[in-house]
Amino acid sequence: MDSLPGFQLRAILGEVVGVTARPQNKFTEGARSLTGALSEAGEQTLIAGRREAVERMAYHAREMGANAVLAMRFDHRVISATWVEICAYGTAVIAVPRSRVSRARPTRAIPAPASPPEPPPPAMYEASLPETPFS
């Protein structure tokens, strides 16, 4: 999310990153199907890696004094044939709720018309067209 509806940014603290490395191993990912689809165990491994990267990013954001991270993204890279790096990054911010109380606006008295306005003359809005037969 690139914004926080209902909140105002008090401070932008800067970039925050969370990184984890996971083994890229056929045996730890579980068996794949003949179509090459990822197994349940492999999917859970990927989810755990992303979750750990986000938790580390959130930890670093709190250390900076942030209470939110905007524009969070994931990235990954293969470190070697057996390791992959998963990175979560974003912008650490301090956000505060916007006040629900609307600001008081000065009121202006609108004068009432002295008399109702006169309707326009009929020629302005009632035009008579010559009758043409449609065949």
Q: What is the pLDDT of residues 16-38, one digit of tens each?
A: 999 999 887 666 555 556 666 66
Fold classification of 7-97 (topology level): Translation Initiation Factor IF3 (3.30.110)
Q: What is the pLDDT of residues 71-115, one digit of tens each?
A: 999 998 988 888 889 999 999 999 999 885 455 566 666 666 566
* pTM summary value: 0.64
Under 8 Å CB-to-CB from 124, ≥6 apart: which residues? none
| pLDDT at 43 (0 to 100) | 77
Cβ–Cβ contacts within 10 Å for residue 72, how many?
18
What type of residue is 91?
A: T
